């Protein structure tokens, strides 16, 4: 019963050209080598040589018909256990067919020569000769197609992984942006009635934040300098609410500014520090942003005052075990973009200090300095 056409792989012009070349080289080379040996060792006559060439042409045509059968039956999609018995049976049938087709030609040439073997023995030897020839043909043909199928499956698997990664990144970004916008609007709301002039400046800063959020949502990475600039706008908005309770310290190595980081990574760490280190404490405190390049990694630390409970510290030390949705998303984006070498964790620093630390493997491609 024939397989449905959907199960048959579409024709590939490159494969067809390679097949024609392999047929010509294979059968032509076999004819030249085998015929040359017979000529110099056994003294093959011109008539015998003609029969040999005609026989091999028939063998080539039969192998081509065999390929058509393989395509129509869908054998190229079979696994080795399912393919092997079919291929063995086909080799025997093809060899018998080849011998039967060329037998009248052989009889015509050998009619006047003394027979050393019976016709049955000659027929059997011819069949056995065909078996090893078609066995070699099948091994090369199916071996190439199975290797090509494996290569295509690896490419498809890589494409699927990239598609899944892109979808996961889009989902994570869609969770980060609303959270960030909500916090920024809360900061602006507190300012509108009290200081309209300062509120107008805050609107400009919020517009910068929203523009950056929309633009960076289309990118996998951005220069760390851009993240730092937008965080300054965010902290300026937060200082509207917290005033002197919020203090900032920057300690950023110049070589770190043009390195690639996921968009909204630093923003997420700073938001977390403001929420748990400043808003939750009546006396406020200092937020420090520290960035260093060490041992082939970009190390970003954001510190804030506070205490990390032992249970939370144990959970947050894992890559995806941070205490908030924003940090969990940031950790997952790091893993998707930079692999298992990247990490994000919370840990207790010096007395009364909590450290959020991101480690990012350095990439060879750097962003050009901004104007």
Let me know whether 199 and 155 are in one domain: no
Number of domains in the chain: 2
Q: Are 222 and 259 in contact (CB under 8 A)?
A: no
Is 187 part of any domain?
no
Pick the residue with more confidence: 140 or 192? 140
Residues 210 and 346 reside in one and the same domain? yes
Residues 357 and 232 in one domain: yes
* Model confidence pLDDT, tens digit, residues 154-213: 877 776 566 666 656 565 555 445 655 676 677 677 677 777 787 788 888 878 877 877
Domain identity same for 346 and 201 = yes
Domain extent at residue 221: 195-361
> Is 112 inside any structural domain?
yes
Domain-ending residue, one of 133, 160, 187: 160
338 and 259 belong to one structural domain? yes
Whether 353 and 256 map to the same domain: the answer is: yes
For the ranges 27-36, 78-87, 157-166, 267-276, the lowest mean pLDDT is seen at 157-166
Least confident window among 57-61, 158-162, 338-342: 158-162
pLDDT exceeding 70 applies to what percent of the chain? 75
pTM of the shown model: 0.52
């Amino acid at each position: 019963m024939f397989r449905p056409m959907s199960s048959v792989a579409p024709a590939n012009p490159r494969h067809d050209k390679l097949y024609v070349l392999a047929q010509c080289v294979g059968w032509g080379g076999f004819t030249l080598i085998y015929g040359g040996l017979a000529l110099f060792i056994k003294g093959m006559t011109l008539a015998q040589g003609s029969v040999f060439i005609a026989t091999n042409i028939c063998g080539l045509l039969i192998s081509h018909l065999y390929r058509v059968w393989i395509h129509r039956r869908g054998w190229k999609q079979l696994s080795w256990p399912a393919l092997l018995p079919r291929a063995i049976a086909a080799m025997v049938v093809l060899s018998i067919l080849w011998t039967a087709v060329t037998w009248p030609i052989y009889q015509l040439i050998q009619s006047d020569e003394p027979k050393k073997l019976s016709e049955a023995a000659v027929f059997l030897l011819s069949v056995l000769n065909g078996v090893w020839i078609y066995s070699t043909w099948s091994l090369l043909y199916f071996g190439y197609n199975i290797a090509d199928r494996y290569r295509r499956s690896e490419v498809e698997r890589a494409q699927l992984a990239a598609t899944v990664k892109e979808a996961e990144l889009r989902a994570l970004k869609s969770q980060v942006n609303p959270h960030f916008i909500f916090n920024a609007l809360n900061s602006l709301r507190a300012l509108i009635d009290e200081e309209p002039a300062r509120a107008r400046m805050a609107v400009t800063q919020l517009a910068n934040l929203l523009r950056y959020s929309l633009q960076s949502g289309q990118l996998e990475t951005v220069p760390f300098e851009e993240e730092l600039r937008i965080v300054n706008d965010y902290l300026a908005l937060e200082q509207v609410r917290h005033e002197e309770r919020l203090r900032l310290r920057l300690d950023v190595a110049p070589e770190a500014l043009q390195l690639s980081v996921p968009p909204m990574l630093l923003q997420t760490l700073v938001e977390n520090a403001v929420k748990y280190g400043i808003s939750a404490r009546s006396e406020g405190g200092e937020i420090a942003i520290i960035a260093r390049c060490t041992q082939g990694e970009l190390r970003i630390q954001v510190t804030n005052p506070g205490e990390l409970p032992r249970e939370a510290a144990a959970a947050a030390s894992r890559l995806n075990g941070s205490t908030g949705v924003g940090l969990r998303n940031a950790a997952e984006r790091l893993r998707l973009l930079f692999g298992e070498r990247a990490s994000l964790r919370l840990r207790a620093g010096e007395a009364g200090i909590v450290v959020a630390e991101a480690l990012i493997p350095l990439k060879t491609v750097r962003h050009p300095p901004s104007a």
